[in-house]
Chains A and B, each alone.
Chain A
Amino acid sequence: MEQKNTVLIDGQVVEINGEKNILELTRKIGIDIPTFCYHSELSLYGACRMCVVEVEGRGIMASCSTPPTPGMKILTNSPRVQRVRRTVLELLLANHDRECTTCDRNGSCKLQDLSNRFGVKKIRFGERDVKLPLDHSSRSLVRDPNKCILCGDCVRMCSEVQGIGVLDFAGRGSQTVVAPAFNKNLAEVECVNCGQCAAVCPTGAIVVKDETDRAWAALNDPTKTVVVQVAPAVRVALGEEFGLPAGEIVTGKLVAALKRLGFDKVFDTSITADLTVIEETNEFIKRLQSGERLPQFTSCCPGWVKFAEHNGADFLNNLSSCRSPQQMFGSLVKKHWAKDLGKKPDEIFVVSIMPCTAKKYEAALSNMTTEGVADVDLVLTTQELARMIREAGLVFDQLDVESFDTPFGFTTGAGVIFGATGGVAEAVLRAAHEFVTGQPIEQVNFEAVRGFADRKEATVEIDGQEIKVAVVHGLGNAKKLLEEIREGKADYHIIEVMACPGGCIGGAGQPISPDRETKKQRAKGIYNADKLSQLRKAQDNPMVAKFYERWLKEPNSAEAHEALHTTYSNRGRITGEEIQLIAGEQPKVDIAVCVGTCCYLDGSYDTLQKLMKLTETEQVQDRINLHATFCLEQCEKGPVIKVDDEIINAVTPETVEKVFKEKILKKLAAAGE
C-alpha cells in the first residue's frame, strides 16, 4: 500500500507529496543537497551539477530537474555522486579568481562555503589562464567576470523576474562569459541598477559597489557637517548582519551606531516619505479631478523610474513627478536646512543608508542638485553600513538605543511602510480620502495591498468615486502590467511599482539572504513598526506641516515643485555609436542609413550594400560620408535613410538607385559646380 507513492532515499522510505523534484524531497527529510543554480523563484536551469544523485537503473541525475517517481531508489551521497560533486567544485575553483581574502563576498560566498563543506584541499588542474577586466562603469555594481561560475542566476533573475535581460551568456565552451550585449559596460545598457543580479550571485562576480571609504573620508573631514538619513527598510534587516533574527526592529541601535561612527546628525528618511505621500496624493487628486495622466504611477523607486524611461516612454507622463524620499530629504537639507545652519550646500555632506543599489545611481543624477552640489553626496547600502559598524568595532547588539535627531526625525507609520511592497499605495490611500472629503478615515489598514502576490489590487471608494489601485513588485510584473494597460486589458487609477521583489525590504543592498522567508519576516517587522507608531498617517506628521509652513508653503506649490519634484527623460533609444563606412576626403554629402531593428527587418542592410556599390560604380566615394546609424525614429516607414538633413522613407534595395540618382548625385553635381 505505502509502496505506491514512496521512494527510497539512502535506504529511507519517503512519501512523495506533490514535490516537483527529488531535491525538494530530500530537503524535506533533512538532507541538504548542495546547489548553485537552483532557485525556487527562477526557472529550472540544471547546469551546476552539484545537486546530482544516483538513481538506481538510471545513473547520475540532477535532483533539481528530476521528478520523483514511485519506487525510485535514490542515493544522495554515493561514491559516484561524491566524485561528480567534488570534481565540479574542483573545476570551478581551478577557473576561479581565488583571491578570497580581498573579495567582497568573503564569508558569504557559496563557492567558498561548499569548498569548506566538501573539504577541497587540493586542485589537480591548472590555474585560471585569463584575467578579464572588471566592469566598474555602473554607479551601483561591480562586475568581476573572473569570479563568475556561470550558474546563470543573474541572467535568469534579470530576464525572468525583472523582465529586462541586460545580462546573458556570450561565447562558448570554456570561453563562455556572462556579459551585457556586445560586451558593453553595465552603464551603457538598460541596467536599472536594481542589483538583484548581485543579490542572487553565489560568488563575488557581481557585487554592490563599496563606497565606505568615501564615508570615512567625510566623517574625518572637519570642514563638513555630515548628516545621515536612514531608509525604512534598513531597520528591519541590519540586525541580520549581527546575528539578530530577520525582521527585528533595530532602529534605536542603528541610530546609536551611526552616532558612534561620528555622524553629526542622524535622520529618518521616513519623514520625507510622509512628505512624498502628501505631495503625491495631492498630485493624484488633481489628476483624478481632471481625468488626465491616469493611471498615476509612483516614482519613489529609482529602479522602476529608469525602467520606465527605457521601456515605458509612453507612460512617463503618468509617473508622479515627485522625487523619491531620499532625494526630497537631500534637497530640503541642502536648499533649506543648510540656511538654518548658516551653511552652504557644499559644507553639508548628506549620506543615505539605503536597502537599495539603484539609489546610488539616483543620487548621482545631474538634476538632483542644489547650486551645483549633489543633494545626496553618498549612498551606502545596509551591507556597507554593517561593514563600517564592524570595522569600528561596535558590538551592535550591546548598543543602547538612541533617537533620531530633529527636525528630520519625527515620523509616522505611513512613511515607515514605504519599505514593503504596497506601502506607498497604502500610505496614499490613508491620505487621499481625507484630502478629498476632509473627513479622517477610521480604518487605516489596507490589507489587500500587502503581501507578496505578483499583483495586488484594491478598490477604494472616495467621495462616491471608485478608485482602483494596483501594486506590483519585481519589474517583470510591472512590464506585464504596462503591456496590459497598453492593450486596454487593465485599468487602474493609481499604481505602485517597486523594482525589487518584496519592495525595498528585498533590495539588493540588504544583507545577503537567499530565501523568501527572510523577506517575509522583514515585511512583518515593517508592519509592526507601523502598528506601534503613535501616528499612522503622513498628513498627521507635525514636522512635515512645519516644513510647509517654513519652506514649502503648500502641497504642489512652486516652492514644493522646486524642491521636491523632478522630470524624466526617454531613454528608449541606445544613444548611438554610428558605424562609419565611407569617409570621403572632401565630403559634400552626408548619408546615413538606419540599421536599427525595424529598418533592418525591412531590408535596410541590402539597401546599404546597394548604396555602397553605387558609390563605387559612380566613383563618388571621395565626396561622400556614408554611415550606418541606429534609429532615425521613423520605424514604421523603413528602410529610412538620411541625406544631409533630409529624411527619406522606404528606400528599398529596388528604389535606392533612383534615390541615389535623384538626391545624392544631383547634390554632388550641384556641389561640383
Chain B
Amino acid sequence: MSKQTPNQLAQWKKEWRQGFEREKARILVCAGTGCVANGSLDVYAALKQEVEARGAYVTVDVLLEKEETGVSVVKSGCHGFCEMGPLVRLEPSGILYTKVKAEDAAEIVAALLDGKEPVERLLYRHPVTNEVYAEEEQIPFYHHQQRTALVHCGQIDPEEIREYIADGGYEGLQKVLTTMTPEQVCQEIIASGLRGRGGGGFPTGRKWEFTRIEKSDQKYVVCNGDEGDPGAFMDRSLLEGDPHRILEGMAIAGYAIGANEGYIYVRAEYPLAVQRLKKAVADAEKYGLLGQNILGTDFSFTLKIKEGAGAFVCGEETALLASIEGKRGMPSPKPPFPAQSGLWGKPTLINNVETFANIPQIIVKGADWFSQIGTKNNAGTKTFAITGQVANTGLIEVPLGTTLREVVFEIGGGIRDGKKFKAVQIGGPSGGCLTEEHLDLPLDFDSLQAAGAMIGSGGLVVMDESTCMVEVARFFMNFTQNESCGKCVPCREGTKRMLEILQRAVDGEGQPEDVEILQDLAEAVRDGSLCGLGKTAPNPVLTMLKYFKEEYIAHVVDKKCPAGVCSALKGYWIDPEKCKGCSKCARHCPVNAISGEIKKPYTIDETVCIRCGACVSTCPFKAIKEG
C-alpha cells in the first residue's frame, strides 16, 4: 500500500459509510461461539440463500461500485444473550429474533422483504410477564444495560475492517498520532479514571505513565486475553465481536508508552477469537493501521498473537509474560513490576482486553465523557457474565456502581422457577459470595473489596435457596487447587488442604474443629501466597465462613446440609400425618429400608437408607420429607 496520510482514514470512513448506507436492510446473524454452537452458521447460510433466491442479496463491494440497494446478510459478534441463540438481528429496524433455526429463514426473509409484521414466534417473550418484545434494545435484558465497550458486539461484522472504520474505528489512533503527545495520552487516560478491567482495578493511566517514563531501547504492550474464570466470557466476546477495537486500544497504548511491539495473549481454547484476531491484524496491516509508519506518521507498531496453553494462572501478569517467553507459566515476585522489567526484561504494559476496548472511545470522546459514566473513583462501565439460577443469563455491560439488585432482578429477570435468592458468587474462584444484605451494594471495585469479594474479570453466578454454599466453596476450591501453578507453598499445599477439609464436610465426615482450622488456614494462604491466584483463592471459603457459617457448622457438627444438596448428608423421613400406609415406598426402596403395617404410617431405617430418593418420587401423598 502506498504511503498513508492521516486524512486517508476520513476518506475511507466517508466512502465505506456511504456504501453501507446503501443497504436497504441488513440481517446480522450472531456468529459468536455460543450461537455457532447452536447452529447459527446454518441459519446464516439459509438466510443468505433465501435472500439470494429473491434476488435481493448485496455485499458492500457491490454497493461501493454501484449505487444498488438490497439486503446484506452478515455474521456478527456475540450479543451476549447466548441462551436465546442463535440470534438474528435486523437493521435498521432493530428487530431481534431468538432461537432461530435454518427452517425459519424463509419466513424471516419474507416478512422483511414483503414489509410484513415480524415473525412473532421468534421474538423474545419474557418468561415471567409473557410480554413479547420486537426490538432488541427494548428487551429488559438489554434495556437496563449501557453497552460502551460492547457497543459493536452483535452490531457489526467483526471480520470486516471497513465496518469498523465506517463507524469511526481507528479515529482514536489517528487522533493521538496527529494531535497528542504520549504524555498527553497518559494524562487523558488518568483523567478518565479508567481502572484495569482484569480484576485488580489498578488505575490504567498510572500504569501507562509508569511504563512511559521508563527508559529502554525496547518496550512492549501486552493484552491479557487469558480469560479463565469458569463461566466468564467477556474477553472472548470482545475479541470475537470487535477485534479491531482491541487492536486500536493497543496501538494507542504503544504510542503512549513508546512501544513498537505488542502481544495479544489469548487462550487457545478460543479458536474463533484467535482466527478473528489474526484476520484483524492482517487487515489492519493491509490498511496501514498497524505496521511501519502508521497513517504516514513516524509511529510503527506490530502485533503478534500468542496462544496460551490453558493454564488459569497465566492470567496473572508475570506468569503470562513467562508463558510468552516460552517458559512454564509461573508467576514471579513483584517488584520488579512489568512496567520496570517485564517481557524479556523490558518495560511492559499489560492490560486486560476490556481495558483496551475502552481506550479508543476515551480518546475520541474525551476523559470527561468517560468519567461521567459510573460513580466517583469507579468510572465507566463493566461487563459481567451472568449465569446461574437467574431467568436471563448472558453477557451484560452496566455502569460501575449499578446495584446487584438491578443486575439480578432487572437485567437477569430474577430467580428462576419462583425460588428465593440466596447469594451471588462474584469474581469467579478469586471472588467471594455476596448475600441478600448486599443486594443494594453498588457493583464497583471498592465496595466489593470491602465486602470480601472482587469484580475479578466479571463472572457473576446467581444462586437460589437450593444451593449449598459449602458445596459452592468446595467447587471453587477444587478449581483453584487444580489451577495452582504449584510454585509457592501456601497456594500449592494450602488449597489442597482446604479442599480436603471442604470435601470432608460435604461427605459428612467433617469434624467440629474443622471450622477453626479452615478459617486459620484460609487466612494464612491469603496472607502468604506469592501471586494473586493464591492470595484470592481463599475468598470463596472466607466469605462462606463469614456469611454462611451456620450452614458450614450444620455440615460438620449436625451432619446436615440445609440446602439438601450434599447427598451424604441427606436424610429422609415419613410424615406420619400424611402417610396413608399404602406401602408403595417400601416396595420401591432398593435396600428395604422402609417398613410398616398397611394403612399405618411407615418408617425409614436411616442406618439402611442409601439416600437415593426413590421413595420421594413414588409417594402419592408427598409424605416423604428430606432433611
A residues sitting closer than 8 Å to B (CB atoms) are: 44-49, 52, 59-60, 62, 64-67, 80, 83-84, 87-88, 91-92, 94-95, 124-126, 149-150, 152, 168-169, 171-176
Contacts and interface: CB of A to CB of B under 8 A. Distances in A.
Q: Is the interface of B mostly helix, strand, loop or mixed?
A: helix
A174 B493 CA distance: 6
A126 B500 contact: yes
A59 B486 contact: no
Interface stretch (B192-200, B250-258, B521-529): B521-529
B517 A124 contact: yes
Given A91-B489, A174-B481, A62 B328 contact: no
Interface of B: 311, 313, 328, 330, 332-335, 481-490, 492-497, 500, 517, 520-521, 523-525, 527-530
B481 A87 contact: no
A49 B495 contact: no
A46 B530 contact: yes
A169 B329 CA distance: 11
A418 to B, nearest CB: 38
A60 B527 contact: yes
Contacts of B528: 49, 52, 60, 84, 87-88
Contacts of A176: 485-487, 492
B529 to A, nearest CB: 7
B484 A87 contact: no
A49 B489 CA distance: 7
Given A171-B486, A174-B481, A175-B486, A46 B493 contact: no
Minimum-distance CB pairs A-B, first 4: A176-B486, A65-B333, A46-B333, A91-B493
Given A52-B528, A91-B490, 5 more contacts: A83-B520, A87-B524, A126-B497, A168-B328, A169-B487
Nearest to B504: A126
A169 B330 contact: yes
A213 to B, nearest CB: 35
A83 to B, nearest CB: 5
Q: Which of B334, B493, B527 has the most CB of A within 10 A?
A: B493
Contacts of B489: 47-49, 88, 91-92, 149-150
A95 B527 contact: no
B488 A49 contact: yes
Contacts, number: 110
Q: Which of A64, A149, A169, A171 has the most CB of B within 10 A?
A: A169
Nearest to A149: B489
A67 B340 CA distance: 14
B333 A44 contact: yes
Contact of A172 (B332, B484, B517): B484
A587 B252 CA distance: 61
A92 B493 contact: yes
B527 A174 contact: no
A47 B483 CA distance: 16
Contacts of A91: 489-490, 493-494, 497
A173 B495 contact: yes
B335 to A, nearest CB: 7
Given A47-B530, A173-B492, A176-B492, A87 B521 contact: yes
B527 A47 contact: no
A62 B333 contact: yes
B484 A173 contact: yes
22 contacts: A44-B332, A47-B488, A49-B489, A49-B528, A62-B530, A66-B333, A83-B524, A87-B490, A87-B525, A87-B528, A88-B528, A91-B497, A149-B489, A172-B482, A173-B482, A173-B486, A174-B481, A174-B484, A174-B495, A174-B496, A176-B486, A176-B492
A488 B485 CA distance: 41
Contacts of A172: 311, 313, 482-486
Contact of B493 (A44, A66, A95, A169): A95
B499 to A, nearest CB: 9
Nearest to A92: B489
Contact of B486 (A46, A62, A83, A169): A169
Point out which of B333, B335, B482 has the most chain A C-beta atoms below 10 A from its C-beta. Answer: B333
A94 B501 CA distance: 14
Contacts of A67: 335
Contacts of B483: 172-173
Contacts of A175: 486
Nearest to B311: A172
Contacts of A48: 488-489
A83 B517 contact: no
A65 B488 CA distance: 13
A144 to B, nearest CB: 18
Contacts of B492: 150, 173-174, 176
Contacts of B484: 172-174
Nearest to B328: A169
A46 B332 contact: yes
Contacts of A60: 527-528
Contacts of A46: 332-333, 488, 530
A173 B481 contact: yes
Nearest to B334: A65
Contacts of A169: 328, 330, 486-487
Nearest to A178: B486
Nearest to A61: B333
Contact of A49 (B330, B481, B490, B497): B490
A77 to B, nearest CB: 14
A48 B495 CA distance: 15
Contacts of A124: 517, 521
Contacts of A168: 328
Most buried by A among B330, B497, B521: B497
B527 A83 contact: yes
Contacts of B487: 47, 150, 152, 169, 176
Most B CB atoms within 10 A — which of A64, A65, A66, A84? Answer: A84
Contact of B335 (A66, A87, A94): A66
A441 to B, nearest CB: 47
Nearest to A80: B527
Contacts of B500: 125-126
A35 to B, nearest CB: 12
Nearest to B486: A176
Contact of B529 (A49, A83, A171, A173): A49
Contacts of A92: 489, 493
Nearest to A50: B489
A159 to B, nearest CB: 11
Of A125, A174, A175, most B-chain CB atoms within 10 Å: A174
Nearest to A59: B527
B490 A88 contact: yes
A130 to B, nearest CB: 12
Contacts of B311: 172
B330 A125 contact: no
Nearest to A64: B333
A41 B517 CA distance: 38
Given A60-B527, A83-B520, A168-B328, A173 B490 contact: no
A52 B527 CA distance: 9
Contacts of A59: 527
Contacts of A125: 497, 500
Most chain B C-beta atoms within 10 Å of own C-beta, residue among A60, A65, A124, A173: A173
Contacts of A84: 490, 524, 527-528
Contacts of B488: 46-49
A323 B333 CA distance: 46
Contacts of B521: 87, 124
A173 B527 contact: no
Given A84-B524, A125-B500, A174-B493, A49 B530 contact: yes
A91 B528 CA distance: 12
A80 B527 CA distance: 8
Nearest to A54: B527
Residue of A59, A88, A91, A176 contacting most chain B CB atoms (<10 Å): A91
Most chain B C-beta atoms within 10 Å of own C-beta, residue among A66, A150, A172: A172
Nearest to B517: A124
B230 to A, nearest CB: 16
A204 B484 CA distance: 25
